[in-house]
Chain A
Amino acid sequence: MLELLWLLLIEPIRQALLYVLEAAHGLSGSYGLALVILSLAFNLLLMPAYHLAEIVQQRERAIQRRMARKVEEFKFAFKGQERYWMLRTLYRQNHYHPVYALRALLPLAIQIPFFIATFGLLSAYPPLKGVPFLGLADLGQPDGLLHGINLLPLVMTALNMLAVHLHSRDGTRAERVQGHVIALVFLVFLYASPAGLVMYWTINNLVSVLKSGFYAMRRGAAREPAGAPGPSWAPQPAPSIGWLARLHAAISASPGRLYGLTALALFVFLGMALPITLTGLEDNVDGLVGYITFFALCSAAFALVYGLLAWGAYRLAPPRLRSLAVYLGLTLLLALLAYGFGYQPDAGVLDNFVFANPQALAPAAAGVLADVLVLLACCAAAAWLLERHPEWTANGLIVLTLGSLGMGGWSLYSLQERITRKSEEEIAGGSKLFNYTRGGKNVLLLFVDGAMSGYIPDILREDPQLARKLAGFTWYSNVVSTGNRTINGLPALFGGFDYTVSQINQRAGDSLKDKVSAAYRIYVENFAARGYQVLYSDPFWFGFARKGDCELFNAQYQASGQGSCIHSIGKQVAARKARVREGSGLDLFRGLAQQYFSVALFKVAPRSLKQAVYGGGQWLGMSYSWKNKEDKYLNNFFSLDSLGELSGTGATRDTFTFITNELTRAPLFLKDDCLPDRSLTSSDQRLKLLMNRYRSGDTTAIYQTTKCTLQALGRYMDWFRQSGLYDRTMIAVASDHGWVSRNPVLSQLPNQVRYSMFQSFLLFKDFNEPGKPLPDLRESREFITNANVPGMLCQSIGGCLDKTTGKTITRQRLQGSVLLHETPWQPSGQQPGRYVVEALYSVRDDITQPQNWQVIQPRIEP
Chain B
Amino acid sequence: MTLTLLYLDPGTGGLLFSVVMGVVTTAFFVLKGLFYKVRSLLAVGGARPIAEVASGADTAAARLVIYSEGAQYAGTFGPIVRELMRRGIACTYLSSDPQDPLLRLGSPLVRSRCIGKGYAAWGELNTLRADICLMTTPGLDVMQLKRSRHVRHYAHVIHSPTDKAFNRPYSFDYFDSVFICGPHQERTIRHLEGLRATPVKALFLAGCVYYDDMATAYRSAATGSASVNAKLPRVLLAPTWGRNGLLSRYGMEAITPLAQAGFEVVIRPHPQSRVSEPQLLDALQRQTRGHANVRWDDASGPLAEMAQADLLVSDISGIVFDFAFLTGKPVLVLEFAVEKRGFEAADLPYEPWELEVLDVVSRKITSADLSRLPDIIASETANHQRSAAIASLREEYVRHFGRAAPQVVDHLEALLAG
Contact = CB atoms under 8 A, between A and B. Distances in A.
Interface of A: 2-3, 6, 50, 53-54, 56-57, 60, 70, 73-74, 76-78, 81-82, 84-86, 88-90, 93, 97-102, 104-105, 107-108, 111-112, 115-116, 118-120, 123, 160, 163-164, 167-168, 171, 175, 178-179, 182-183, 186, 189-190, 201, 204-205, 208, 211-212
B21 A212 contact: no
B170 A204 contact: no
A634 to B, nearest CB: 26
Contacts of A182: 8, 10, 13-14, 17
B15 A108 contact: yes
A86 B14 contact: no
B169 A107 contact: no
Interface in B8-28: 8-19, 21-23, 25-26
B4 interface: yes
5 contacts: A60-B18, A73-B341, A86-B142, A164-B10, A186-B8
A78 B342 contact: yes
Contacts of A178: 13-14, 17
B191 interface: no
A493 to B, nearest CB: 48
Contacts of A97: 26, 29
Contact of B10 (A115, A183, A189): A183
A168 B14 contact: yes
A686 B92 CA distance: 90
B23 A208 contact: no
Contacts of A183: 10, 13
A120 B5 CA distance: 8
B5 A119 contact: yes
A50 B7 contact: no
Contact of B15 (A84, A99, A104): A104
A70 B342 CA distance: 9
A3 B18 CA distance: 28
A54 B170 contact: no
Given A98-B22, A102-B23, A104-B22, A190 B7 contact: yes
Contacts of B6: 112, 115-116, 119
Contacts of A105: 19
A767 B8 CA distance: 79
B205 to A, nearest CB: 26
B9 A205 contact: yes
Contact of B197 (A54, A93, A111, A186): A93
Contact of B11 (A119, A190, A211): A211
Contact of A98 (B12, B29, B168, B173): B29
Contacts of B26: 97-99, 101-102
A160 B170 contact: no
Contact of A81 (B10, B36, B341): B36
B417 interface: no
Nearest to B12: A111
B11 A212 contact: yes
Contact of B198 (A93, A108, A175): A93
A224 to B, nearest CB: 23
Contacts of A60: 18
A3 B9 contact: no
A2 B196 CA distance: 47
Nearest to B144: A85
Nearest to A182: B13
A419 B144 CA distance: 53
B275 interface: no
Contacts of A108: 12, 15-16, 19
Contacts of B9: 160, 163, 204-205, 208
A164 B12 CA distance: 10
A102 B15 CA distance: 10
A705 to B, nearest CB: 31
A170 to B, nearest CB: 11
Nearest to B196: A93
A285 to B, nearest CB: 32
Which of A70, A115, A208, A211 has the most chain B CB atoms inside 10 A of its CB?
A115
Given A175-B18, A179-B14, A182-B14, 16 more contacts: A60-B18, A77-B342, A78-B342, A88-B29, A89-B170, A93-B170, A101-B26, A102-B19, A104-B18, A119-B4, A178-B14, A179-B10, A182-B17, A186-B8, A190-B7, A201-B7
The 4 A-B pairs with the shortest beta carbon distances in the complex, nearest first, are A101-B22, A77-B342, A182-B13, A164-B10
Interface string B119-148: 000000000000000000001001110000
Contacts of B1: 2-3, 6
Contacts of B346: 73
B101 interface: no
Contacts of A112: 6
A99 B341 contact: no
B121 to A, nearest CB: 16
Nearest to B174: A89
A86 B170 contact: yes
Given A112-B6, A179-B13, A73 B36 contact: no
